[in-house]
Chain A
Amino acid sequence: GNSVTQMEGPVTLSEEAFLTINCTYTATGYPSLFWYVQYPGEGLQLLLKATKADDKGSNKGFEATYRKETTSFHLEKGSVQVSDSAVYFCALSDQGGSEKLVFGKGTKLTVNP
């Protein structure tokens, strides 16, 4: 079945450091790919998405590119802030007609001042 693998956390960075959170997927067909973010005590929010190969999703300084050849969708940010501290989830849409999202296990990011 479809699956998402993302790097184990937790990740701890200093403010203004460069962030990469790796995400790879296994899927049949051409799923859409997503990054969701969960701030402490809150539900998940969509951070960015890409719907086809070579698409780049971006939002709030975060970027991720849909790489079909490496089945990856790595999340990057050039300069993180304390307010970026959260849990980040990579996900894909199951295109079996069910509109189901399959999530990775989440990566906790802590940014220190």
Chain B
Amino acid sequence: DTAVSQTPKYLVTQMGNDKSIKCEQNLGHDTMYWYKQDSKKFLKIMFSYNNKELIINETVPNRFSPKSPDKAHLNLHINSLELGDSAVYFCASSQAGDLAGEQFFGPGTRLTVL
């Protein structure tokens, strides 16, 4: 069973479109994250949710809106896509309250904006 899964794996779209990426974890974790990895492999957190509540928003443009329908899911919706949004987006989860705990990452979604 896949611990953290993301769909789609690849997403190619035109500038100005709206798209969503879905993430699900079956680990029973309370906390989920979205990270963005740029072309130079630099990884930066975007959002974190704890039990459906937003706890981290790292000055991401308003065009990005995370939604957590339940604690096992954290989706990322992106409006009016721009060229600079092209990146690999990773979802992750961890056990809430465990600052030394492992974060489990999904396989990533490679977004290409043309």
B31 touches A99 (CB 8 A): yes
Q: A99-B31, A105-B41 are contacts. A43–B56 as well, Cβ < 8 Å?
A: no
> Provided the pairs A32-B100, A43-B107, A98-B55 are in contact, do residues A103 and B48 lie with their beta carbons within 8 angstroms?
no
> Which residues on the B side are within 8 Å of A105 (C-beta)?
40-42
Which residues of A are found within 8 Å of B98, using beta-carbon distances?
99
B43 contact from A42, A46, A89, A93, Cβ within 8 A: A89
Q: For A103, give its contact among B31, B44, B55, B102 (CB under 8 Å).
A: B44
**CB-CB contacts below 8 Å: A84-104 with B:** 87, 89, 93, 95, 98-103
Q: B100 contacts which of A43, A49, A100, A102 (Cβ < 8 Å)?
A: A49
**What string of 1s and 0s marks CB contacts (under 8 Å) between A51-65 and chain B?**
100000000000000
Closest to A89 in B: B43
Do A43 and B44 touch (CB < 8 A)?
Answer: no
| Bound: A102/B41 CA distance, A | 14
Asked if A44 is at the interface of the complex by the 8 Å CB criterion, the answer is yes
Contacts of B55 in A (CB 8 A): 98
Residue positions of A touching B, CB distance < 8 A: 32, 34, 38, 41-46, 49, 51, 87, 89, 93, 95, 98-103, 105-106, 108
